[in-house]
Amino acid sequence: MIPALVGLGFFMITQFDPRYFYVDDTESGAVGNWLQLGHLMREGEFPSLVLDQWMAGNYPVEGQGGLWNPVQIFINYISPSIDDMALFATLVKLVFAVILGWGVYRVALEYGARPYWAAVAGSAAPFAGFTLYFEFPSWVTSLFGMAWVIQAWASGIRYARNRSNPLPMFIFLYLAISVGYVHNALMAGVVVACLMIGEYAYQRDWHVPVKLAAAGIAAAAAGAITFLPGVLTSSVTWRSGEAGTINDNFLTAPWSETLTASIPSSVSSIESWTGETTYAPITYIAWFAIPALAFIGWQAASRGLRELCAPLIMLVFVLLFTAGPSAIGQVRWPARLLPFVAVTALILLAILISKYGTTKNLRARMFAAGALVLILAIRAGSSGPQYFGRHILWAITIMIAIGLVVLTAKRWGSAAAAGLIILTIAPVAFYQVATYSSVLSKWYLPTSQAEAKANFPDWEGTTLQLGTRSLTDTSNANSDLPWTSQVFGNYAKVLDLDYVNAYTPVGHQAFSDLLCITYDGSTCDDSFHRLFQEDGYTGRTTADLMLLDRVVLQNAQFMRADRQPPPLGWHWVSVPADIADTVSVLERNDGPISDQLGRVSATVNAEATPISSEPDTEHVRVSSEQGGSIVFARLAWPGYTATLDGEVLTTKGLGDVFLYVDIPPGTTNADLVVTFRPPGQRIGLVGMGFGAVLIGAMTVLYYRGRRHSRDGTSAITTDSL
């Protein structure tokens, strides 16, 4: 039922907006990564560095490429074969929405919910407000990770209660961690901690939290390789300044926002990119979530709360966390955990209704439900007073729906009532999408790979674009879109072209400062001057040190080609007439240089003959009578090592940007080998091995314990006879 309901919801939404699931970070970031990683995998390269992308080309540091996540690897591998990128993104998100809903269903069942009420929770969870407006359209890695975390929760309960071996819990935790989204790695740990406390409180057996902790440690050790490179490289990235705790109220969710959790028309007083009010129901959980509290026998429920210790602790944690502060070190924007508030609340509701749901004293309960709905409507009116009329209409509609559900339950039973609720979930989600516009920006990138490539110039070689996205109009599909001549975000990856410009949430501080380049590949007005300014040590320009073949200038930011002379060694080239008003293009007089062997871009008092070059390795024959330097068109990331005829040399950064090595005097035809290995990768591989061995041992112990238990039971039975 859950796949059908979720599929219906997706179908209805795409009928209204075919691009709904292809917005902002999905279209500008994630899908481009999938495509490029897929191409690299098909070429037999396990990706670490994509050199021509410079600060956006260090995938181990980015983390969210899912380099060690087998499901993400599969998505990456097949993505180049699917032309319609919006359709592909929608299908991928549909699969994970089903996995999420199935996980919620499993958790509720494990805690004793009836299957039909567990199905209500599982069907509603994917359409909670924050998921519907942030994760479905844009933040796909958050959706991936949450789906795996909830599955790990269900498997963790089964393992704690000896209904399953530890392997499923380990697998789901590892998948959640290796997605590379820090909030879900955090929540993987929180789930394990809540299970440890909750299951000990329920079973009163200290062995239970120990074995849960061991499974969590195994998964954390195996998944550490996803985050170690980023942590150990952070000193040179934008993240180096993110320390301490601050609160600027951006994407924090005060507890009062939960009082709009059942009004589909409510907007939120949470500050986001739309201002101090987010004009969408992002705190919505389900129309029945709050009113259903009136139909629970709380006196009976209070006697059975010990078993629900884990989800109750989880709910308290996420409510505290989402309320702020807005940044704790590199963990920022706590409202990102609102989906976990919704999921945990729905799980608890399904359990409580299943075990303690009642219609006794119906008149009083209907009155209490009405009072709750009235409070919800009033609170919704305080956030969005301009919509007060629709809030009242929804309050009336909810009361009518409650009456129908109660009538159905009394005449045909609880299963029929649950089925009636399930039928309302997709239509409510459709109403919300059709009524409230996206809270995130739409880029309106082409959805077809073939169309995108056919309408873009075939600019081969290494290209740097100078321009800023803020000077382009992407406000609607009918505006003068720049996608036939300009690239921002990861659009160049869709085109399968070698652009420096790409999307990165991490960045390299020194390189960013050098060209004033931002997360989406935009540059500042001074970037042209900086690009062609000579370096004092090498006498080469930045463009030369980068081995650029071409520079594309956005006319809206820079003077047109016919109004300024080209830099020395470069010339203006003609561009197709349909894009001549938008961009001007510089190319080298002597033709492209990026296709030369190796990445040596300058030498100082030294000679260099490239022998071989791979993304992670340079082999160069070098000579220097008096001592000199070899400079490479490589960003000076941590992780580089160099040897000269086997002797270790120190790698350095020219201006903290360009990798270079000093060659000692008297060097003649020596072999210089420069190698890159992501920091922490060796430790990470050891961690993976440790995690695999630990979970293997735990699995063996689990089955041995079950066998001994069966043998003991058999012996007792035989003796009793």
Low-confidence residues of the chain, pLDDT below 50? 714-721
Contacts of 652-657 with C-beta under 8 Å, sequence gap 24+, read 653/510, 654/535, 654/537, 654/538, 654/545, 655/510, 655/514, 655/535, 656/236, 656/509, 656/510, 657/508, 657/510, 657/511, 657/514
Residue 176 lies in a domain: yes
- In angstroms, the CA 400 to CA 481 distance is 47
Q: Are residues 143 and 198 in the same domain?
A: yes
Domain assignment present for 159 = yes
Looking at residue 715, its pLDDT comes to 44
Backbone φ and ψ for 643, nearest 5 degrees, come out as: -130, 145
Do residue 415 and residue 491 come from a single domain? no
pLDDT value for 242: 63
**Assigned domain for 49 exists:** no
Domain range for 109 is 84-435
Q: Residue 314 falls within a domain, yes or no? A: yes
Q: What is the pLDDT of residue 717?
A: 41
A 10 A CB-CB count for 534 gives 12
Listed residue (706, 707, 697, 689) closest to 211, CA to CA: 697
Res 719: pLDDT = 40
What pLDDT sits at residue 634? 97
The last residue of one of the domains, among 435, 458, 488, is: 435
Considering the domain boundaries, does residue 416 fall inside one?
yes
**Shared-domain flag, residues 604 and 554:** no
Same domain, 291 and 428: yes
Say if residue 410 is in the same domain as residue 453: no
Among 435, 467, 486, the domain boundary falls at 435
Residue 62 domain flag:
no
Complete DSSP assignment for 48-92: SB-GGGGGG-BHHHH-TT-TT-HHHHHHHHHGGG-SBHHHHHHHH
Separation of alpha carbons 248 and 431, rounded Å: 32
Q: Are residues 190 and 133 in the same domain?
A: yes
The pLDDT value given to residue 246: 87
Kindly state whether residue 61 falls inside one of the protein's structural domains. Answer: no
Q: How many domains does the chain have?
A: 3
The confidence score (pLDDT) of residue 45 equals 85
Residues 412 and 513 in one domain: no
**CATH at 641:** 2.60.40
- Percent of the chain exceeding pLDDT 90 equals 85
Q: What pLDDT was estimated at residue 47?
A: 76
Residue 275 sits in the same domain as residue 376: yes
* Distance from the first to the final alpha carbon of the chain: 47
Backbone angles phi, psi at 653, to 5 degrees: -125, 120
Considering the entire predicted model, what is its pTM?
Answer: 0.94
Q: Are residues 219 and 328 in the same domain?
A: yes
pLDDT on residue 401: 97
Residues 6+ apart with CB under 8 A from 160: 195, 199, 203, 208, 211, 212
* 228 and 131 fall within a common domain: yes
Q: Rounded to whole angstroms, what are the CA distances from 613 to 37, 44, 245, 597?
A: 20, 16, 44, 7
Beta strands in 122-217 (DSSP E): none
Whether residue 474 is found in the same domain as residue 408: no
Whether 144 contacts 181, CB under 8 Å = yes
Query: Would you state the pLDDT for residue 712?
Result: 62
Q: What share of the chain is helix, strand, coil (3-state, %, to 5)?
A: 55, 15, 30
Kindly state whether residues 431 and 567 are assigned to the same domain: no
The residue among 536, 561, 588 that closes a domain is 588
Residue 707 in any domain: the answer is no
Q: What does the alpha-carbon distance between residue 145 and residue 543 come to, in Å, rounded to a whole number?
A: 40
